[in-house]
Chains A and B, each alone.
Chain A
């Protein structure tokens, strides 16, 4: 595997430092008058949900390239982004109920936002399972699933505006108190940085696996002709 370079090391170091520094900014942000201290979960719950959406779109983009142009690179991008979608979806679906238990008094509500977000996570898990255990057609089957997941993303996002739910609406971030913005955008930047670093590493790993598989085939041919 090729070296990841100084830019990657710098980004990874910045992400590690950020995980120690951003909580200080979040703690310094003013308290929300209705929910109180538990509203601090918002600062990393929303960026994680955004990364779930972004990963799903990247996965769908790679899948389209693979399905319609037969792009192997597109397939590798889709596989890497698919894993990140499941990872950040898990973070969203764990931090949300922790916030809800305190704010609403229940861990879970079967309302439009929560249910559609869970559905998106399940589709992305199905994507990974189809890819791993789907046999020869697994990659194409999973690519089709990624397209369904991408269609679900706008539905998840707009669900709070279309249906009446207990979840806060999409106007929360644009109307955020100016004193809360530095904490929110630094947390968002940190999660985006972590997402980018993980995607680069995962892509390199996928590339190295493809290279290894190709070398193995060449070596087998060579060993057979050599005997």
Chain B
């Protein structure tokens, strides 16, 4: 009975070791790089980069035009205020420029 148990354990150990050897290459294969089949796929699509670059230039120029328009508006407003002030003074009888 004792001998039977001993042989049983030896068989179990042998089967485990053989199974380990048999499965080892399969595990190694799973960690290898995959070979590409067919045309190479691009990781990063180019279209968003091109669209972002063109869009940025558009937005930057447009923003600058808006800033210029605001500057022109401010100068016109200041000119009008100054004219009104001068006219008011002239109406009061002050010297004309």
Contact = CB atoms under 8 A, between A and B. Distances in A.
Interface in A7-23: 19, 23
B68 A202 contact: yes
Interface residues of B, number: 31
Interface stretch (B5-13, B17-25, B30-38, B79-87): B79-87
Interface residues of A, number: 38
A143 interface: no
A91 B47 contact: no
A102 B49 CA distance: 8
A137 interface: no
A212 interface: yes
B72 A205 contact: yes
A87 B61 CA distance: 8
A45 interface: yes
Most buried by A among B42, B58, B61, B85: B61
B75 interface: yes
A164 interface: no
Interface in B42-86: 42, 44, 46-47, 49-50, 52-54, 56-58, 60-61, 64-65, 68, 71-72, 75-76, 78-79, 82, 85-86
Tell me whether chain A's interface is mostly helix, strand or loop, or mixed: helix
A209 to B, nearest CB: 6
A38 B46 CA distance: 5
A222 B97 contact: yes
A209 B74 CA distance: 10
Contact of B53 (A1, A36, A94, A212): A94
A67 interface: no
Contacts of B54: 23, 44
A99 B53 CA distance: 8
A218 B95 CA distance: 12
Interface of B: 42, 44, 46-47, 49-50, 52-54, 56-58, 60-61, 64-65, 68, 71-72, 75-76, 78-79, 82, 85-86, 89, 92, 94-95, 97
8 contacts: A37-B50, A90-B60, A91-B60, A98-B56, A212-B78, A222-B97, A223-B89, A226-B95
